[in-house]
Structure 1
Amino acid sequence: MSASGDVTVTQAERIKRLRAQLQGLKPLGTFGGAKVAPAAATGLLYGVMLRGAARMADGRELTDLETQMVKFLRPLASEEEIRELGRVFADEQSSHALGMFPDVLTSRGMEQGYAFEDLVKDLPALRADVAAQPNLSLVDLDRLDEGAPLDSPEFIEGMSAYGHGVTVVTASDHHPDARATAKPEQVLVELKAYSCQRESNELGDDELYWAHSASSDKAGKQSGVTREYGDVATGDYRALDAGTVLFNGQVDKFLTAHIICWEADHSSSQWRDDMHDTMRKISDILFEMADKLAQYGGHFPVPEYHDLIDYFEIVGMIALAIAALLELFRNHDDEVAARTFVFDRAALGKWANDLNAIANFEFDGGSEGHFTLIAKATSSINARPRATSMPRVLPGGQHTWSPDVPFPSGTMSGTPALAEYYDKLYCVVPGFAGSGSLWWSTLENGAWRPFAQIPGAVTSDSPSLTAQSGPGAGLWCAYNRRNAVVVTRFSGSSWSGQETVAENIVLGSPALSTYGQRLICVVRGPENKLYWNERDYDRWGTFKPFASGTTCDSPALGQDGSGVPHCVVRGSNGKGLYLSKYISSTPSWSSFQGLPLGSASARPALAHSAEGLVCMFRADDLSEELRYATLRDNTWSPVTKHPTATSADGPALVKYSDTTPEAPYGYLYCVHRG
């Protein structure tokens, strides 16, 4: 598929597909059972892309708009192939009319470019044709009846017919005063789950994955591709892995997102890597378009709707360009449906500050199936860490968890980390709004102090924390920085500089623990295999693979009552939990054993109570409740639900030695993201 690597669709096949598009044999951007050709006006930007490639092949200087649209091709094709696509466009245009593009583009001679100022000038005349398409919708959250869906039946039918949909979301009663200088909205949007309304018409159950990208006008850009979720049939429900983030950052006026639902048939690892690159480029293009439109006179005060109308039109064109381009390059996986969303600031503010802010987005691909994607937005005020504890009692003793309560300050995204160091409890959390920063706090006199930033620590994942005695004693924090394992140490008064342990080894978050005076690190690495390393005295060794075991998520470490580390992971397909024990004499790790605890939707946590080794995890359903079980005498207790705690991500769990009359053996302490 790409310019290098494992090619799943040949260049000759891509050229054949493009000619079929330009000859009208297949409507632009239609997949699966979709058969309706879009209005020519919506094909404008795809035409600019191909025409720009043709002008580049002729050695002509490209306009600003052509440059941006041709740039979109580069993660998918070599420079020579881009020119060849352009030559095909020029050849087809010379032999017949290209009715899928508007006259404002096709009537120009090839010597005349098409620039952003041409786009802005032509928008009003094209508006009626674009807005009339039933797969484009404008939703006002303040005008929806209570309980009414975001997607109307007419829109869902239109999306099925065209193969993709475009939705602009506003909240007309929540627009900020244009004269005010409000700070940008900080928002976290996560994809929570999906349900199958109708499976595809292929034999066997469907295997789905989701590709997504998002960009705000504050330059926040994110993209990703989920793992495959197998055996999906009509009526089924699947919780997506915790931390499936569509966007985490700041928004001034607009957030734009593009989401594709795929059914996996013949995906290779190279195809998935290329899809990651494609979604990143989509984020870049969406940001460039929003930025350029603002420069050319859009984005007037929202109550007048002028900016939304123009933006609505532009997004419809971008969505079609994305759909048509992916049709050239995709492998044999089936695209179910694709959707582009634009949320204005008012819509995000209303959505993110609703504590029950669950939104359902329909993806109806006709014969390829119909799926409902469930998303949630969260504002910073609703993203505080929450804490709950339970006295550590001897077997047979009575114990109960305290109600989970929010920290007095601080916001977070992801999974927190906990450790006890010199009789104090420490917590490190990943920052909110996409900063990538790490923040730490300590529990003193029963109250959490205000969070402070760890200098120089930046990660897109969650941290790990452990305390070490002996040489190198301190509170150690490990995190992932661009797939490298990086550590920093707290001496009791300040954090050290950042030390890189190994490059290109970690996917997700590393895990830390100790054995005696050894510092131990376990990571999920290449091909989802598990690797481990240890720091003995003052130096790290090299990462070594576990003898067996793969996982879809980051590992977790915890010690039993004898101080021996155990590693717990989720299964490679998200099913089940598995446990391995550190063998100090070798040193090595035992084979992973399946646990009778069910499945989790996030990284679990391990800690020792007076009763035994406790495993806590987030439920694999939309309840998001925290559950736990205890290993005692090689037998696991029944799984128990925490009485009050639900979490948007995995929990952190630690043995805390602080004693009180009600807890003579200390506490089992949990922090999570509510």
Structure 2
Amino acid sequence: MQSSQERIERLKAMLTGRSSNRRTGAALASSGELGNLLLGVALHGADRLRENRLPTDLEMALVAALHAAIDGEEVKAWGAAYREVVQSADPGTLVVPEVITSRPSSSGYGVEDLAEVIPQLSQEAGRAANVSLLTAEDLAAGRIQEDAAFVEAMRETGFAVTGGARYPGTTAAAAAGSQDTGTAQNPAPAADSWRVRLEMENFYVERAVGDQGGGRDEIYFTAAASAGGKKGEPFVSEEFGKVVKGQTRTFSSNNKVFLDQQCSGGLVVASIQVWEADQSNAAWYANLQKALNTTIERIDALLNNPVAIIADPTPLPVTIAYEVTKVFVALMDALRNDDDLSDTRTFVLSRDDMAILTHQPNLEWNFNGDGHHILRVRYTGERPVYPEGSIEIISRAQPTGGTLGGAWSVPIPLGWKTRATPALASYRGDLYTVFSRSTDNRLVWSRYDGTAWSTPRIIGSAASDRPCALAVHQDQLHLMYTGGDSKVYHGWFDGQQWSPLQPFLDWKTGFGPALVEVHNHLWAAATGGNTVYAAKWKQNVTGPVTRQASPSGAAYGAPALGSSTFKAILDHRQSDDSICSRFPDNWTGREVRSWRTRHAPTVHHSGSYDWMAHIGTDGRVYLSWRDTHKAYDEYPKPKTEWEWTNRAEVIEQGTWTCTPLETPAHTTHNRRLYAIYHTQA
């Protein structure tokens, strides 16, 4: 490190956009109107500390990071230098925003001030080319290749931030125009402690690094990581010499773990750097990086207490990480006169990300600075423990014909709990789910837009502890559920609001109902006693009429509805645990003799095929299909084309097998088959 006075002069130059490092200048200049706010707050807090004023919690969190690199007296000197530059700089030359530079030292900048500008900071982070959001679906499917534009942006600025894409607040639900004012806060309780372990496997050299004069070809990696607020040990890899394009270099087996920590909640924050092996880092560097990681978690906690702050489109932890990483970039510029840092990246992962990585453990992270290296990271820790009733979703590529399709993704935890299988449907280009929250059985809905699920919203007064049903009919999303009074209720969503929920005929059942659209008519089915009843109608054209679909004593549990070209097909469990398929007109039954289940099956119709899920007596979920592309009228009686394929596929991926509490609901959406369920303990 340089002398104190040299560092202060570099700080002054950096604050007015005159950094000698091109990438530092690009990093700080690329921000929006509020860019580098937390850098300004850190220095504002240092100035207030110099004047013996009590810093706010936010200022103290940031000033603590400064203390990790320089002593207390120099922190105060930095505060004085900041105030001097703010008062003397020409208009438009400062790299920190006016919202902080215009504030006198007598006025602190606190969490409540930051909360007011988080929406704008989130939008600015969302527009930053060097910020990437990894969807849980991509992670679960093993789609880990990073976007080329994102990789190029980190070369320009020297840093990048990556985190999970999630809606932390009610923004998305509000955008749907729900008339409900209450949100459905139903998070899964904190899990028991689990071991978080991440290790560097190897890296591929896309472009070799060299000094400005092109003389050196040696690199090494450093990392500072924390889990749930607990700091891990700093990591420094061995030096890799004579690195050339096209090589794959492997980390030493006894020096590749960069995080090994027990965790009971919170975030995993990891900062990783690639260096040219010209100089060795002093202890202050590792302390600074760990302190900044802690700052990310501390600010996130401050903003989420007592009420979560809305950040859209960039989740709050990623928004904060983006701003804090720029603090690191600025401090490295002020503290060092060396140009051997090739690239730095910050990663923010959640408990749910760790759960996905347990089954899909491989990651590829690009470091594109002076050189371009693709780092391969592997999660070797434990899977977080989730309570019984936690909702998970899986998916796979879905063929148009009657074949079993692509490999299943690993399960994605959605962070909610329920007492019954959620319903699932594709509607107006998004994926919708409705489920009963575990605290009070109130029905709530959420929407997946391809990036993240919205915060669940309450549906009127609807409540149920049984699986409900969804189906799209005449551009409306129809809902049917069994109330606490055993009556069956019906309503629909038009993309803006839910209709009033009304009893459906005089139906009563102890199970969940079923819905399907067939030839522009909506069909419903429910079990009353041991008899299945069905009804068919066309919204706003004809009213529903009940038909008895199975003889008394035949059905055990909730029915499922599939579809032929013009008719509905009914499937249900029988008293001997077999599954019976009943065909239209006279509801003739045919038993699937080789299958046994103690749970109600679920059926989804897509194109010319029905897809059935059922839980075998071994507790595993099986999936099968039947071809319904021919009109029933072509047959004098049910033919083999109408029967389920006898070979059923076990829903599994690698060492993971789907073993839920009840049979998953499933639907096709954007050429993928999705299945949703709630878990055992």
| TM-score for the superposition, normalised by structure 2 | 0.49
Q: TM-score, normalised by structure 1?
A: 0.49
